[in-house]
Structure formats: C-alpha cells, structure tokens
Amino acid sequence: MRIGCVKEIKKQEYRVGMTPDNAGSYVNAGHEVYVESGLGVGSGFPDSEYEEAGARIMGTAKEVWDISEMMVKVKEPLPEEYPLFHEGLILYTYLHLAADKPLTEALLESGVKGVAYETLMERDKSLPLLAPMSQIAGRLSVQEGAKYLEKMYGGEGVLLAGVPGTPKADIVIIGGGSVGTNACKIAAGMGANVTIMDVNTQRLQYLDDIFGARIQTLVSNDRNIEKALRNADLVIGCVLIPGKAAPKVIKKKYLQQMKKGAVIVDVAVDQGGCCETTKMTYHNDPIYTVDSVVHYCVGNMPGAVPRTSTIALTNATLRYGLEIAKNGLEEACRENEVIYSAVNTYQGKVTYQNVALSLGMEYTDIKSLCMNPGR
Ligand SMILES: NC(=O)C1=CN([C@@H]2O[C@H](COP(=O)(O)OP(=O)(O)OC[C@H]3O[C@@H](n4cnc5c(N)ncnc54)[C@H](O)[C@@H]3O)[C@@H](O)[C@H]2O)C=CC1
Ligand SMILES: CC(=O)C(=O)O
C-alpha cells in the first residue's frame, strides 16, 4: 500500500503521525511510504532519518495526499485540506466528528474512509489510541492550570501546594478516565486537595484503591458538581462518551458562584467541551475569561510537548496501521473486529452511531457495508 504522512497545519501543532521508526516498519512490511519534506522537524526527526528508514521525501503536502492510499495523521483535517481528499482514501487520524459537521460532510462527499483514533475500542473497552494523548493532556492540565492561577494571567494568585500555614488549592476533576487519572496523579503529587468525580462508580472504586486517602471521590451529578465548584480553585473537565458530543456538565450559572480568578481547563473541548462557556482556544492564545473565571480550552494540548507526544501516539497507532495496510481496511476489520469501532465514515455514510446521533445524521452499520465492499 502507498502510505503518506504530512505536516500538521493546525496552529502550533508539531506532532506528526509517523516517526522514522514507524516509516521503517511500514517499509519492512512491503509498503511504500511518502512523507512531506520537513515532516518531523518539529518533533525532532530530520528528513535524513525518514530517508534512511526507506521513506520517499516529497516537496509538498499535495503530492503526498495525491499519491497516498492511506494517510496517517495526528489532528482532524482543516478546511484547507478538504480539497485534497479523494475517494477510497483511508484517513487514519483523530477526527472528533461530533464537534465538526463540516469535516464530516467533506469526508462523506469525497468518499474517504475515516478511521478515527479516538473511537477505536479494544475488547476490554479501553481506548488505546486515545489513551496516550489523554495521559499527556491529563498531566499537562494541572501544569497549565497552575500557571493560569497566577495573578498576571487573571488567576486568583494561588499556589497549588500552598506552603506551611496557608491553605492548599482545591482541584476538582470531572471525569475519572485516562485524562482524569493522570491529572489526579499530578495534582495529588503536588499536594493539592483533590476531588474527582465520575458517573461510573466502579471507576471511582478503582481511583479510591489507587490513591487512597489522598483524594476525595464523588459521584458526578449536577448537585455535587455545583457544590464542589463553589470552593474550587482549579477545575479540570475531562468527561467522555466515545464518539458523542461531550455532556455540558459545567453550567454557565455555576460560574457566578465560583471564586473570582478560578481556572477551568476543559480538556474535553475536542468533543465540543463539557462546560457551557467553552470555546476552542489555541496554544498561542490559550485563555479567556467569563464571569471572572479563566477558561483554558486548547484542543491539542499534547502538541505543546511534541517529542514525547509523537513517540507516545505512534507507539500506539503503528500496530493497527500495519494491520490496515496489510490487507486494506475491509479485510483488517474482518480479521480484527475492534478496527470496525474506529471507522466513522465509509462509502459516503456515517458509520459510528454516537457521531450520527450528535450530528443528527443517518447512521449506517459499518459491518453491513464492509461485507459488501464493492457496493
Ligand atoms: N484537549 C486535548 O488536547 C485532549 C483532549 N482529550 C479529550 O479528553 C476527554 C477525556 O478523555 P479520556 O480521559 O481519555 O476518556 P475516558 O473514556 O478514559 O474517560 C472519560 C470518563 O468520563 C466519564 N464520564 C462520562 N460522563 C460523565 C459525566 N457526566 N460526569 C462525570 N464523568 C463522566 C466516564 O465514565 C469516563 O470514566 C475526551 O474528550 C478526549 O478526546 C484527550 C487528549 C487530549
Ligand atoms: C486527542 C486529541 O485530539 C489530541 O491529542 O489532539
């Protein structure tokens, strides 16, 4: 198969979909790899390393898009990239379609097979292609929150750990999955008072087992969230229902009861955000304030640490990428049924139920289409 990888064009996004080692693995498996010149520079991988691995360097992104049967990326394509889509292309990347109707329509119109990292679900219900970036975003969320609590950014002027004789900061984490657990690890490690909430009580039990008395677990519901937010210095929003637009668990009306200069980090912004006042921000201008509460809503947080993130992401994506490249998407799905769960668009249809529900579009079962690939 001809496999391509292009530079990301989202603002200040330096991660890439393929390391030189990955390129070598695809080449060794008999595939042709085409990469845009300068692809890995932002993550510390020069062209020479891709060439040594057997990849061919192309002068422009368009050349790579045009020649590729499978495109391996990081972020959801931006409108400038839509004209480069072509029928039958396998697009293997984050898509977050529930929050992006124009991208969904562009994928459907062009007949691209959209394979979304964030919905690939293993048999044990884990999300192996989302988890590595969630681990990074979770750890970063506390670091970023700590920074924007500083007075010069509009924050309250509170140090997370405090010092002897002063109160520690109160951190409220809503969503106890990969992001939440990693945020909890850093927040508890820094000595803050941590409360973590989830709707899944088994998850709360697990968090209680691993963190013990260092944290408070609470069932997530409107009343508990409203009460906890009143005392919070830093709130980290990281709920997820795979494929669906994020539930708005932080209502605008709660903001008026919060401390002035408190900070909300809405990590779930890529799925539309879990706070009613969230709007997407970028690394170059990451915060804004509503009702005296600072909001940080960057949709590609791991892009801030691209070297670590590129390696962590591609460690996870390579395995399924090789499976898809070996026999094509349809056969890969039949051989390893978990890959079906990543297919969000196929032959002009939305094939992931929660995406269809969130966008009010028609859903078609991928299995009914993949069994008849020629239809
Ligand atoms: N902004 C960024 O740069 C990044 C954003 N993310 C996003 O962060 C979000 C969380 O990802 P993960 O932690 O990997 O997901 P996950 O699936 O591991 O955890 C999500 C948790 O939210 C819980 N949940 C669902 N509804 C809830 C509610 N109403 N109240 C409280 N908890 C609820 C679930 O039970 C689950 O435990 C996703 O939207 C993901 O795409 C992930 C990485 C980077
Ligand atoms: C999960 C995601 O969209 C990101 O890491 O940018």
106 and 210 belong to one structural domain: no
Is 228 among the domain residues? Answer: yes
Q: Quick check: 74 and 13 in contact, CB under 8 A? A: yes
Is 240 part of any known ligand binding site?
yes
Is 375 among the domain residues? Answer: no
For 241-271, the pLDDT digits (tens) are 999 999 999 999 999 999 999 999 999 999 9
* 9 DSSP 8-state letter: -
Distance CA 167, CA 174 (A): 22
Distance CA 85, CA 36 (A): 16
Structural domain count of the chain: 2
Tell the burial category of 36 from Cβ atoms under 10 Å away from its Cβ (0-12, 13-18, 19+): buried
Is 358 among the domain residues? Answer: yes
106 and 222 belong to one structural domain: no
* pLDDT for the residue 375: 39
Is 15 part of any known ligand binding site?
yes
Q: What is the number of the ligand closest to the CA of 274? A: 1
Q: Which of 304, 331, 352 is the last residue of a domain?
A: 304
Q: How confident is the model at residue 86 (pLDDT cuts 50, 70, 90)?
A: very high
Which residues belong to the active site? 96, 270
100 and 140 belong to one structural domain: no
43 and 78 belong to one structural domain: yes
Q: Is the pTM of the predicted complex or chain greater than 0.80?
A: yes
273 and 146 belong to one structural domain: yes
64 and 11 belong to one structural domain: yes
Is 357 among the domain residues? Answer: yes
Is 45 among the domain residues? Answer: yes
DSSP per position, 141-187: HHHHHHHHTSGGGTS----TT--TTSPPPEEEEE--SHHHHHHHHHH
- What is the mean pLDDT of the segment spanning 9-18? 96
224 and 342 belong to one structural domain: no
- Model ipTM value: 0.99
- Looking from the CA of residue 313, the nearest atom of ligand 2 is 5
162 and 254 belong to one structural domain: yes
Distances (CA, A) of 291 to 236, 256, 259: 17, 6, 10
Provide the pairing of β-strand 234-237 with 293-296.
unpaired
Provide the pairing of β-strand 293-296 with 287-290.
antiparallel
- Domain containing residue 75: CATH number: 3.40.50.720
252 lies in which domain range?
131-304
Q: What one-letter code names the amino acid at 127?
A: L
Closest CA relative to residue 139, chosen from 225, 18, 265, 13: 265
Establish whether residue 140 lines the binding site of ligand 1, counting it when its CB lies within 6 angstroms of any ligand atom: no
Is 227 among the domain residues? Answer: yes
In the structure encoding, which two tokens stand for residue 184, read together? 């909890």
* pLDDT for the residue 372: 59
What is the number of residues in the chain? 375
CA 13 to chain centre: 13
Establish whether residue 286 lines the binding site of ligand 2, counting it when its CB lies within 6 angstroms of any ligand atom: no
14 and 88 belong to one structural domain: yes
For 26-42, the pLDDT digits (tens) are 999 999 999 999 999 99
Establish whether residue 134 lines the binding site of ligand 1, counting it when its CB lies within 6 angstroms of any ligand atom: yes
Q: What is the number of the ligand closest to the CA of 221? A: 1
What order do you get walking across the sheet with 215-219 strand by strand? 215-219, 193-198, 170-174, 234-237, 263-266, 293-296, 287-290
Tell the burial category of 208 from Cβ atoms under 10 Å away from its Cβ (0-12, 13-18, 19+): middle
> Taking 70 as the threshold, does the pLDDT of residue 121 lie above it?
yes
334 and 213 belong to one structural domain: no
